[in-house]
């Protein structure tokens, strides 16, 4: 007898669809079950009765939103144990979720017998994802479009040889699996759901594979060599578009050799992602990025982790290094560009992991909020041009810190407030504070506590803090 299955992803914004739910959909449909996928809260679906509900989880700082989603659907099943919760947060905080919701938690990958309590469930992770559930035209309930839905999602490896403190991969995928056939995965997706334009590889450390050269050859063979095109019909006309391969989790600069960079350059790679997590990796990072440009890789994307064990000075220097590298490429007549994506660190365990309030040892609330305001103005990206960078982040680290200490609206709408002299007036008032007043002012400001009424007699401090309210 067929069962009614509801798949739910909480309503946080994300580019990538829930691959685990897509594979669970395939598993249940093979058994003849009815499967519905939805993102967020649905009054109509909540009213119905379901034999099982599967809910995916992502980052631990989505704790509240995820728990609220689980509780929202808790009465849509006979018992809460019929709600199965899996994914990143479910792996890292499985005991806490279970205690809060009394649901069935599935940590890690769906590659072990008995996790779902259904015969054959050990094969779920190997199944072809069900692309039909993420297409709004195929799913009348879904009103969310994933930007990457026209991609093949595949793995050449699983796991990672590293055990970085800020990363959860070694807990979710503890075993490094050396080589999986991307060709077979793409063939199966194409056969079931049609051809996709791009290829998104979700490997966490593909360079660690001893089969790396073979993987590259396989990617070229299936149509993702440099200059690859994809023919699409648009409004009755056939047009050719560039197709791309994206190693989404980035490549490990420490494992890059010239031979491996040459191999990567033979792919339609866009972008090449290389992390720059620590200033101590400076020399390695610069060398590898220069190799990429020399081999003709044009688009480079760069993750810049901050609020971990770095300092604001480290963060600024890493961003500036990318600006200098871009200028070096231009002088040499190379066409490569680096786009930086600052990523704020949040813990993956402990009470601090359940929200985005964690403040690193060398950071403070105002600096972190200041960076958030800068990134609002730059749409989260740091471009390759010095003029743009220096306007947003300052010409040096001293200017950078000065910008971070400005009121939020002054950071976001800098041009407007500089034009009407508000910025210079604020600077004048801060300069006129006594050393004691400045100390009190900075104590409140660095904690982003600008509406504190317990300042007492310090009227000049109150007057300055009004700019920040």
Query: 308-363: per-residue pLDDT in tens?
Result: 999 999 999 999 999 999 999 999 999 999 999 999 999 998 889 999 999 999 99
Separation between Cα atoms, residue 151 and residue 162, nearest integer Å:
27
Query: 34-52: per-residue pLDDT in tens?
Result: 999 999 999 999 999 999 9
Separation between Cα atoms, residue 76 and residue 78, nearest integer Å:
7
pTM of the predicted model as reported, rounded to 2 decimal places: 0.93
Element (H, E) at 88: helix 88-92
Mean pLDDT of 92-118: 96
DSSP 307-341: SSS--HHHHHHHHHHHHHHHHHHHHTT---EEEEE
Chain region(s) in the chain for CATH 3.40.50: 4-126
pLDDT > 90? residue 417 = no
Angle between helices 397-404 and 312-331 (to 10 degrees): 120
Q: Architecture of 148-412 per CATH?
A: 2-Layer Sandwich (3.30)
Confidence band (pLDDT; 50, 70, 90) for 455?
confident
pLDDT > 90? residue 296 = yes
Query: 217-245: per-residue pLDDT in tens?
Result: 999 999 999 999 999 888 888 899 999 99
Cis preceding linkage at 74, omega within 30: no
DSSP 5-19: EEEEE-S---SS--H
pLDDT > 70? residue 453 = no
Chain region(s) in the chain for CATH 3.30.750.210: 148-412
Q: Residue 130 — left, alpha, or beta (φ > 0 → left; ψ -120 to 50 → alpha)? A: beta
Query: 198-213: per-residue pLDDT in tens?
Result: 999 999 999 999 999 9
DSSP 173-223: S-S-B----HHHHHHHHHHHH---SEEEE--S-GGG-TTHHHHHHHHHHTT
Separation between Cα atoms, residue 463 and residue 416, nearest integer Å:
22
Mean pLDDT of 21-26: 98
Q: Residue 304 — left, alpha, or beta (φ > 0 → left; ψ -120 to 50 → alpha)? A: beta
Mean pLDDT of 181-197: 97
Separation between Cα atoms, residue 74 and residue 53, nearest integer Å:
9
Mean pLDDT of 142-155: 94
- Reduce the DSSP state of residue 237 to 3 states and report it: strand
- Residue 85, strand partner residues: 55, 105
Nearest to 132 by CA among 149, 148, 144, 116: 149
Mean pLDDT of 64-85: 98
Fold category of 4-126 in CATH: Rossmann fold (3.40.50)
């Amino acid at each position: 007898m067929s069962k009614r299955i509801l798949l739910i992803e909480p309503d946080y914004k994300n580019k990538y669809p829930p691959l685990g739910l897509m594979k669970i959909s395939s598993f249940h449909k093979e058994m003849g079950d009815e499967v519905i996928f939805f993102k967020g809260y649905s009054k109509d679906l909540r009213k119905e009765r379901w034999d099982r509900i599967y809910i995916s989880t992502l980052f631990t700082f989505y704790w509240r939103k995820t728990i609220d989603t689980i509780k929202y659907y808790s009465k849509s099943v006979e018992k809460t144990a019929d709600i199965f919760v899996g994914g990143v947060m479910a792996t890292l905080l499985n005991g806490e979720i279970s205690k809060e919701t009394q649901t069935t938690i599935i940590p890690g990958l769906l590659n072990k017998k008995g996790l779902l309590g259904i015969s054959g469930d050990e094969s779920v992770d190997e199944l072809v994802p069900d692309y039909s559930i993420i297409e709004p035209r195929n799913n009348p309930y879904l009103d969310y479009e994933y930007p990457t839905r026209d991609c093949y999602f595949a793995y050449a490896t699983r796991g990672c040889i590293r055990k970085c403190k800020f990363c959860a991969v070694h807990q979710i995928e503890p075993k490094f699996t050396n080589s999986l056939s991307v060709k077979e995965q793409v063939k199966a997706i194409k056969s079931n759901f049609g051809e996709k334009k791009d290829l998104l590889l979700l490997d966490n450390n593909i360079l660690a594979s001893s089969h790396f050269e073979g993987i590259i050859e396989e990617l070229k063979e299936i149509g993702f060599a440099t200059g690859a095109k994809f023919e699409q019909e648009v409004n009755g006309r056939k047009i050719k578009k560039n197709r791309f391969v994206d190693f989404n989790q980035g490549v490990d600069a420490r494992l890059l050799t010239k031979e491996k960079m040459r191999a990567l350059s033979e792919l339609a790679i866009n972008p090449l992602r290389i992390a720059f997590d620590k200033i101590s990796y400076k020399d390695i990072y610069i060398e590898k990025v220069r190799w990429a440009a020399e081999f003709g890789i044009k688009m480079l994307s760069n993750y810049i982790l901050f609020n971990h064990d770095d300092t604001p000075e480290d963060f600024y220097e890493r961003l500036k290094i990318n600006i200098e590298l871009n200028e070096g490429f231009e002088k040499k007549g190379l066409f490569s560009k680096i786009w930086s994506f600052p990523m704020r660190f949040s813990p993956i365990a402990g009470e601090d992991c359940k929200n985005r309030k964690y403040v690193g040892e060398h950071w403070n609330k105002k600096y972190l909020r200041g960076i958030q305001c800068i990134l609002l103005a730059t749409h989260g990206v740091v471009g390759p041009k010095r003029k743009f960078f220096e306007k947003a982040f300052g010409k040096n680290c001293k200017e950078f810190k000065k910008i971070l200490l400005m009121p939020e609206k002054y950071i976001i709408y800098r041009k407007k407030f500089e034009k009407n002299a508000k910025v210079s007036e604020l600077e004048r008032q801060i300069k006129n504070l006594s050393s004691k007043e400045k100390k009190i002012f900075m104590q409140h400001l660095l904690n982003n506590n600008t509406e504190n009424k317990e300042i007492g007699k310090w009227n000049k401090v109150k007057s300055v803090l009004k700019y920040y309210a």
